[in-house]
């Protein structure tokens, strides 16, 4: 079986720096004074808040409901009081904000009623819903909702379940320690995932620089049938989902296709662990293991409640004085945190303190000499230098033709580039720009369609009106011809219409004026109510609204302009 | 001499026949020009170009009756694309037709709306819902930001707000390389 | 710009690559000096000085950081290749002018490092051999290592005596085999002069061997890949072998072709220029095979003794097309149409 290992092309071998943070066992991070839980913590949409300021919540209580089936639920990481549901900066390279639930813990850690489920007796559909409602997402960093990955749909059946314990990024050790210490739980979680997918076999891929984790996982899977722990050669990015699937099964999954189409699916060991907690203990995903390492005095791994401010964590490990920035994720794919008062999310696998000594700044960017080092390093077998030219020239069509979307942004190309070109930045720019263009195109196509339909409808209405009028006129003429006195004035339709229009307009204007009058009277009558016991920011908001109303009144007093 | 002439004439006939055949055999049914132009236009349907919608403007450009720089929402990039398509010289956006603005959507202050339906009649893409004397609202994803609903509103309750950037729509900036022109001393 | 991933970088730079290329040339230069005297060192110095001066002036004109780009070593590589492909007793002004032409016109007017479609050193060679065919065919005779005499030829433009110059084997073959009345044979021509040696010309075969050593080191250092040298040498040997089998009197053998002229230098140091060469693996094979074919045709039938430079430039022209047509399949897309772009 072991001989059936495949290789992926490319890859690099940076120094692994794993030992620093594996000396101590996983410790529990203390409960902070405030938890900030972003509602959007998985791909596929922002859950709607289920709580309001002032509300008491229990640990594990649902505070965010998945929108549709495409995201996973969000839960209170501890018991306490909701202070606010408001927009806060996210730990994201953009530094943008999104709705978050701010909770003041009460320190009691009171759980909701936890109901363990015997997974073997449940249908895969019920278990998938349970995973969704327990907030289980991929903990390797991509945070894709797990229940969606387990849905084979029309695509096919998941014959082989791949479990990713490769952890190829330097410095990060959260999966390593999880496997060393909690192999039993991981294996139970794997059994659940396997049951849902009804997979025949399970391959657990672990990079061969983690002998203790491999031993622990082997011991835990000794009794299981069809489960195999496979050490894979240590070479970044062996833990990339597509690369690991390739190494273990030889299957290559291109961009835009999903594992089940090829009979495989891949889960992180942390995801398996939290699936076990969710199903067999009834505990939704409210914490994760985070590696705190790099330029710090006491590196280690911590079990951290989601929403813990990163500042609180850094206090535990004491960053050294020459630390110049903090990276969320590893040195190859992580991003520099815009600030450190941001919360830990389900995607936070590592906080890496960087210093100029540890991560020396690269030299100035030189021209590309097409040396081909990037091509040899690219695990997606792309031509990075060509993609670079196209992205730089904003020639997006060509970039797409050269499969830029197959780029996994692993950073190997920029790591080996002798010209110090920030290649991945160019790809990220091109990809996000192309997605934006695609959105614009969809929107403008929709607008064109709606505009054309509207024109069609207007024409049809006019035609129908004209036909009705013509019919009416014809009837009137007939009546006259028949010698009867018509009820209405016997003017032809055309002349009947024209003088009536301004008259209609006048009545309409009068009506509108009356309505404006009513609205104004109503507005002026309205006084802010329920203003006692409100937070100062609420009061400020009310003042702002009042000011806006006053402005509108001013405008409404001047006679309305003629509608064009 | 004669044989050379004959050979030349023969080659000309054969090549001519080949070319003629190829032009029939490989004829490309090209998109009509109007559709190509229309595909570049942003479909805001705002009428700032002086035509009642994007399609009429596209038709006018195709006929040569309008300049390519009359579309403020399409902006400079749109003009460049049109210039490329039509093989014309790029010109800056004509000032009389407006200025390029970031994408906006209309928002109705629902507390002030009196339900007059004037805005629904003005909306070129049916993005406003509401019946007479009922409060109206704008379906934001459908709004093209054309501003045509703003002037008709008698109570001035429609505001144009820029579309905020979210984590989903955020774009990476174009990597700017700080090239130092002067050597550090 | 250090805020984005990857935050790690290999300690590698353009300068390091260029320095490795220069280092790999050293054994060849050493053997060159042994057989043909120290004039080549003077030529290298002349070309280097001209290249650095031209590069600095152009960088300044183009508003680029002079120190940064000047120290990348690319100008030096061009300069050394020019010196090594030119006759060591070429007049100083020819070397300097050709180098300046390479740097200013062939490199910077096309956009500088990374943008030049043609190999600058080969542009310089072609321009010079067209403009000054006689001076470019004036090679020192083996044993003519008198430095003072060489310098007189180089600097005082003293017309070289027949005693100190001689035709290279390639030149001799061209001039004698092209005269039908002479009824010369390859063996006859090559055997006519002791200094033509047994393989590719006395001295030249040893220099070629030294270039081969340097090239193998570059391969080991992963500065170049095997594709170009292997495809070039194999194609050249195959064509030459085939024709010499068919008509040994008219066509020289494969070993002669591979070790003579600019073949070995070209295989490892000129064709492997990444900027003007093909980049895809299959593209490199096609590019190198194309140069070999053109070089052999020009050597065997053309008006110039060696066809390397013309072969390289002609294939440089085809590089965009070759690269476009040989895009390797992408991860996960291998069952889609092979080759070409999807």
C contacts of A364 (beta carbons < 8 Å) = 65, 68
* DSSP of C186-249: HHHHHHT-GGGTTTTSTTHHHHHHHHHHHHHHHHHTTSS-SHHHHHHHHHHHHHHHHHHHH-TT
Look up the CATH superfamily of B33-97.
Electron transport complex subunit B, putative Fe-S cluster (1.10.15.40)
Cross-chain residue pair B175–C1, CB shorter than 8 Å = yes
- Mean pLDDT over C40-50 rounds to 96
Identify the residue whose tokens are 């007479």: B132
Query: pLDDT band for position C143 (50/70/90)?
Result: confident
Cross-chain residue pair C67–B183, CB shorter than 8 Å = yes
* Domain range list for chain B: 33-97, 104-162
Which range (A129-143, A390-404, A415-429, C168-182) has the least confidence? C168-182
Contact assessment for residue C113 and residue C74, using Cβ atoms and an 8 Å cutoff = yes
- Phi-psi category of A109—alpha, beta or left, where left has phi over 0 and alpha has psi -120 to 50? left
Note the pLDDT of residue A429.
94
Cross-chain residue pair A422–C69, CB shorter than 8 Å = no
Note the pLDDT of residue A504.
53
CA distances from A403 to A383, A397, A410, A424, B181 (A): 9, 10, 15, 14, 35
C contacts of A254 (beta carbons < 8 Å) = 330-333
Model confidence at B184: pLDDT above 60: no
Which domains are delineated in chain A?
A: 2-30+123-336 (3.40.50.11540), 366-483 (1.10.1060)
How far is A160 from A295, CA to CA, in rounded Å? 40
Note the pLDDT of residue C61.
92
Contact assessment for residue B149 and residue B109, using Cβ atoms and an 8 Å cutoff = no
- Rounded to a whole number, what is the distance in Å from the CA of C64 to chain B's nearest CA? 6
Model confidence at A507: pLDDT above 80: no
Give the one of A93, A439, A454 whose C-beta lies nearest to B125's C-beta: A454
Cross-chain residue pair B179–C64, CB shorter than 8 Å = yes
Read off the tokens for A262: 């090829």
How far is B155 from A140, CA to CA, in rounded Å? 53
A contacts of B175 (beta carbons < 8 Å) = 422, 425-426, 429
Query: pLDDT band for position A233 (50/70/90)?
Result: very high
- Cβ neighbors of B16 (< 8 A, separation 6 or more) are none
Q: What is the pLDDT of residues A339-368, one digit of tens each?
A: 999 999 999 999 999 999 999 988 888 999
By CB atoms closer than 10 A (0-12, 13-18, 19+), residue B115 is: middle
Note the pLDDT of residue A142.
82
Nearest-Cα residue of chain B relative to residue C68: B183
* DSSP of A355-419: -TTTSPPP---------SHHHHH-TT---HHHHHHHHHTT-HHHHHHTTGGG-----HHHHH-TT
Closest CA to A449 of C294, B49, C188, B38: B38
C contacts of A253 (beta carbons < 8 Å) = 332
CB < 8 Å from B in window 408-467 of A: 422, 425-426, 428-429, 431-433, 436, 439-440, 443-448, 450-455
Q: Does residue A518 belong to the interface with chain B, where contact is any CB pair within 8 Å?
A: yes
A contacts of C17 (beta carbons < 8 Å) = 369, 371, 418
Nearest-Cα residue of chain B relative to residue C66: B183
A contacts of C342 (beta carbons < 8 Å) = 401, 403
CA distances from B143 to B50, B146, B166 (A): 20, 8, 18
- Rounded to a whole number, what is the distance in Å from the CA of B71 to chain A's nearest CA? 14
Contact assessment for residue A360 and residue A301, using Cβ atoms and an 8 Å cutoff = no
Give the one of C1, C65, C67 whose C-beta lies nearest to B181's C-beta: C65
Q: Does residue B34 belong to the interface with chain A, where contact is any CB pair within 8 Å?
A: no
Q: How many CA atoms lie within 13 A of A246 on its CB side?
A: 20
Note the pLDDT of residue A490.
46
**Chain A interface, best mutation among B43, B132, B151, by max A CB count within 10 A:** B43
Name subunits touching C (3+ CB pairs < 8 A): A, B
C contacts of A395 (beta carbons < 8 Å) = none
Q: What element of type H or E holds A272?
A: helix A269-280
Q: Does residue B118 belong to the interface with chain A, where contact is any CB pair within 8 Å?
A: yes
Model confidence at B179: pLDDT above 80: no
Q: Does residue A504 belong to the interface with chain B, where contact is any CB pair within 8 Å?
A: no
CB < 8 Å from B in window 80-109 of A: 90, 92-94, 96, 98
ipTM reported for the complex, 2 dp: 0.87
Cross-chain residue pair B178–C1, CB shorter than 8 Å = yes
Query: pLDDT band for position C40 (50/70/90)?
Result: very high
Cross-chain residue pair B126–A453, CB shorter than 8 Å = yes
Nearest-Cα residue of chain B relative to residue C67: B183
How far is C237 from C289, CA to CA, in rounded Å? 11
Q: What is the pLDDT of residues B40-53, one digit of tens each?
A: 898 888 888 888 88
Q: Does residue B161 belong to the interface with chain A, where contact is any CB pair within 8 Å?
A: no
- Rounded to a whole number, what is the distance in Å from the CA of C11 to chain B's nearest CA? 20
**Chain A interface, best mutation among B140, B158, B174, B182, by max A CB count within 10 A:** B174
Cross-chain residue pair C3–A325, CB shorter than 8 Å = yes
- Classify domain B104-162 at the CATH topology level: Alpha-Beta Plaits (3.30.70)
Model confidence at B32: pLDDT above 70: yes
Which range (A235-244, B173-182, C36-45, C252-261) has the least confidence? B173-182
- Mean pLDDT over A489-501 rounds to 44
Helix (H, G, I), strand (E, B), or coil: what is residue A101? Answer: strand
Nearest-Cα residue of chain B relative to residue C63: B181
Contact assessment for residue C290 and residue C298, using Cβ atoms and an 8 Å cutoff = no
Cross-chain residue pair C328–A424, CB shorter than 8 Å = no
How far is A94 from B166, CA to CA, in rounded Å? 9
Note the pLDDT of residue A249.
92
Nearest-Cα residue of chain C relative to residue A360: C8
Model confidence at A520: pLDDT above 70: no
A contacts of B157 (beta carbons < 8 Å) = 552
With helix as H, strand as E and coil as C, how does A139-160 read? CCCCCCEHHHHCCCHHHCCCCE
How far is A219 from A215, CA to CA, in rounded Å? 6
- For chain C, what is the mean pLDDT? 88
**How many CB pairs lie under 8 A apart between chains B and C?**
14
Give the one of C2, C277, C331 whose C-beta lies nearest to A406's C-beta: C331
Q: What is the pLDDT of residues C219-272, one digit of tens each?
A: 999 999 999 999 999 999 999 999 999 988 888 889 889 988 889 999 999 999
Give the one of A422, A516, A563 whose C-beta lies nearest to B152's C-beta: A563
B contacts of A560 (beta carbons < 8 Å) = 154-155
A contacts of C7 (beta carbons < 8 Å) = 327, 331-332, 334, 354, 359
- Rounded to a whole number, what is the distance in Å from the CA of C143 to chain A's nearest CA? 40
Contact assessment for residue B134 and residue B115, using Cβ atoms and an 8 Å cutoff = yes
* Ranges assigned E (strand) in chain C: 139-140, 165-166
By CB atoms closer than 10 A (0-12, 13-18, 19+), residue C19 is: middle
**How many CB pairs lie under 8 A apart between chains A and C?**
145
* Beta bridge mates, A75: A62
What is the number of residues in chain C?
342
Cross-chain residue pair A332–C5, CB shorter than 8 Å = yes
C contacts of B183 (beta carbons < 8 Å) = 65-68
CA distances from A87 to A62, A176, A339, C51 (A): 19, 35, 16, 60
Q: What element of type H or E holds A229?
A: strand A227-232
Q: What is the pLDDT of residues B57-73, one digit of tens each?
A: 998 898 888 888 899 98
- Mean pLDDT over C103-130 rounds to 94
Query: pLDDT band for position A489 (50/70/90)?
Result: very low
Name subunits touching B (3+ CB pairs < 8 A): A, C
Q: What element of type H or E holds A510?
A: helix A493-525
Query: pLDDT band for position A503 (50/70/90)?
Result: low
Closest CA to A246 of A354, A141, A160, A149: A160
Read off the tokens for A177: 């320690």
Cross-chain residue pair A519–B155, CB shorter than 8 Å = yes
Cross-chain residue pair C329–A364, CB shorter than 8 Å = no
Contact assessment for residue A71 and residue A47, using Cβ atoms and an 8 Å cutoff = yes
Model confidence at A69: pLDDT above 80: no
A contacts of C115 (beta carbons < 8 Å) = 367
Closest CA to A411 of C20, B129, C6: C6
- Phi-psi category of A329—alpha, beta or left, where left has phi over 0 and alpha has psi -120 to 50? left
Read off the tokens for A475: 């009837």
């Amino acid at each position: 079986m072991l001989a059936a290992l495949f290789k992926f092309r490319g890859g690099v071998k940076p120094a692994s720096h794993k030992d620093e943070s594996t000396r101590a066992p996983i410790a529990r991070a203390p409960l902070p004074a405030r938890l900030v839980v972003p509602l959007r913590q998985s791909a596929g949409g922002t859950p709607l808040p289920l709580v309001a300021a002032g509300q008491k919540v229990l640990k594990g209580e649902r505070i965010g409901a998945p929108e549709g089936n495409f995201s996973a639920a969000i839960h209170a990481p501890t018991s306490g009081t909701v202070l606010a549901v408001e927009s806060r900066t996210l730990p994201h390279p953009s530094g943008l904000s999104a709705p978050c639930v701010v909770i003041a813990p009460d320190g009691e850690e009171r759980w909701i009623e936890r109901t363990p489920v015997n997974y073997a007796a449940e249908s895969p559909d019920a278990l998938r819903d349970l995973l969704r409602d327990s907030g289980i997402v991929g903990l390797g960093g991509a945070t894709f909702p797990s229940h969606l990955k387990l849905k084979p749909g029309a695509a096919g059946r998941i014959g082989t379940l791949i479990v990713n314990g490769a952890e190829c990024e330097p410095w990060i050790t959260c999966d390593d320690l999880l496997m060393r210490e909690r192999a039993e739980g991981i294996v139970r979680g794997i059994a659940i995932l396997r049951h849902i997918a009804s997979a025949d076999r399970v391959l657990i891929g672990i990079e061969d620089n983690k002998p203790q984790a491999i031993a622990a996982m082997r011991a835990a899977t000794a009794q299981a049938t069809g489960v195999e722990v496979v050490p894979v050669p240590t070479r970044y990015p062996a833990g990339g989902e597509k690369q690991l699937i390739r190494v273990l099964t030889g299957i290559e999954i291109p961009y835009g296709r999903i594992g089940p189409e090829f009979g495989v699916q891949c889960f992180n060991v942390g995801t398996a662990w939290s699936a076990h907690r969710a199903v067999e203990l009834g505990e939704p995903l409210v914490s994760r293991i985070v590696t705190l390492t790099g330029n710090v005095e006491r590196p280690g791994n911590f079990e951290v409640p989601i929403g813990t401010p990163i500042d609180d964590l850094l206090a535990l490990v004491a960053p050294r004085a020459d630390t110049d920035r903090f990276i969320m994720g590893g040195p190859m794919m992580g991003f520099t945190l815009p600030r450190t008062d941001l919360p830990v999310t389900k995607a936070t696998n590592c906080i890496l303190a960087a210093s100029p000594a540890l991560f020396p700044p690269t030299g100035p960017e030189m021209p590309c000499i097409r040396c081909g080092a990037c091509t040899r390093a690219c695990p997606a077998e792309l031509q990075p230098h060509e993609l670079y030219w196209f992205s730089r020239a904003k020639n997006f069509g060509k970039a797409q033709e050269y499969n830029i979307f197959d780029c996994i942004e692993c950073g190997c190309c920029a790591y080996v580039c002798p010209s110090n070109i920030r290649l991945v930045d160019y790809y990220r720019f091109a990809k996000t720009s192309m997605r934006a263009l695609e959105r614009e195109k969809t929107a403008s196509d929709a607008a064109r369609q709606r505009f054309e339909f509207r024109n069609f409808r207007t024409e049809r209405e006019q035609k129908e009106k004209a036909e009705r009028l013509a019919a009416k006129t014809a009837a009137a003429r007939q009546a006259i011809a028949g010698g009867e006195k018509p009820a209405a004035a016997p003017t032809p339709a055309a002349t009947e219409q024209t003088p009536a229009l301004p008259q209609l307009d006048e009545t309409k204007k009068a009506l509108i004026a009356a309505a404006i009058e009513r609205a104004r009277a109503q507005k002026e009558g309205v006084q802010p109510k329920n203003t006692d016991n409100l937070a100062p920011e609420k009061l400020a908001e009310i003042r702002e609204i009042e000011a806006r109303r006053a402005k509108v009144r001013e405008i409404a007093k001047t006679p309305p302009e003629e509608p064009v | 001499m004669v044989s050379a002439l004959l050979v030349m004439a023969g080659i000309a006939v054969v090549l001519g026949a080949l070319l003629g055949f190829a032009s029939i055999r490989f004829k490309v049914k090209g998109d009509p020009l109007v559709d190509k132009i229309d595909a570049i236009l942003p479909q805001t349907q705002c009428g700032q170009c002086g035509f009642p919608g994007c399609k009429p403007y596209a038709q006018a450009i195709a006929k040569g009756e309008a300049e390519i720089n009359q579309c403020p929402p399409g902006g400079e990039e749109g003009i460049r694309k049109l210039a490329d398509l039509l093989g014309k010289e790029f010109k800056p956006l004509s000032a009389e037709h407006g200025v390029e603005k970031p994408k906006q959507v209309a928002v109705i202050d629902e507390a002030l709306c009196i339900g007059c339906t004037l805005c629904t009649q003005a909306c070129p893409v049916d993005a406003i819902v509401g019946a007479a004397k009922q409060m109206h609202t704008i379906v934001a994803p459908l709004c093209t930001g054309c501003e045509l609903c703003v002037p008709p509103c008698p109570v001035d309750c429609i505001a144009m707000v820029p579309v905020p950037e979210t984590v989903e729509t955020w774009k990476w900036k174009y990597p700017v390389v700080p090239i130092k022109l002067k050597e550090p001393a | 710009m250090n805020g984005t991933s990857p935050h790690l970088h290999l300690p590698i730079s353009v300068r390091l690559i260029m320095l490795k290329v220069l280092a790999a040339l050293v054994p060849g230069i050493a053997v060159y000096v042994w057989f043909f005297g120290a004039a080549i060192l003077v030529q290298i110095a002349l070309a280097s000085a001209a290249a650095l001066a031209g590069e600095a002036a152009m960088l300044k004109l183009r508003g680029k950081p002079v120190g940064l780009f000047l120290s990348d070593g690319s100008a030096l590589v061009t300069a050394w290749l020019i010196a090594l492909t030119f006759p060591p007793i070429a007049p100083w002004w020819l070397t300097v002018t050709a180098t300046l032409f390479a740097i200013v016109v062939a490199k910077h007017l096309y956009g500088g490092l990374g943008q030049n479609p043609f190999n600058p050193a080969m542009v310089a060679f072609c321009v010079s051999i067209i403009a000054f065919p006689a001076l470019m065919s004036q090679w020192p005779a083996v044993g003519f290592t008198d430095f003072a005499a060489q310098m007189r030829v180089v600097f005082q433009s003293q017309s070289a005596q027949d005693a100190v110059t001689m035709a290279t084997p390639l030149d001799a073959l061209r001039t004698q085999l092209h005269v039908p009345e002479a009824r010369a044979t390859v063996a006859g021509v090559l055997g006519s002069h002791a200094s033509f040696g047994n393989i590719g010309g006395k001295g030249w075969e040893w220099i070629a061997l030294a270039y081969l050593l340097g090239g193998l080191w570059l391969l080991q250092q992963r500065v170049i890949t095997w594709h170009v040298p292997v495809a070039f040498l194999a194609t050249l040997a195959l064509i030459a072998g085939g024709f010499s089998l068919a008509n040994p009197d008219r066509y020289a053998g494969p070993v002669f072709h591979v070790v003579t002229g600019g073949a070995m230098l070209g295989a490892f140091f000129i064709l492997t220029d990444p900027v003007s060469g093909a980049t895809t693996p299959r593209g490199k094979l096609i590019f190198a095979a194309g140069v070999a074919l053109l070089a052999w045709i020009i050597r065997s039938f053309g008006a110039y003794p060696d066809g390397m430079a013309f072969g390289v430039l002609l294939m440089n022209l085809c590089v965009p097309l070759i690269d476009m047509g040989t895009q390797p399949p992408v991860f996960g897309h291998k069952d889609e149409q092979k080759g070409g772009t999807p």
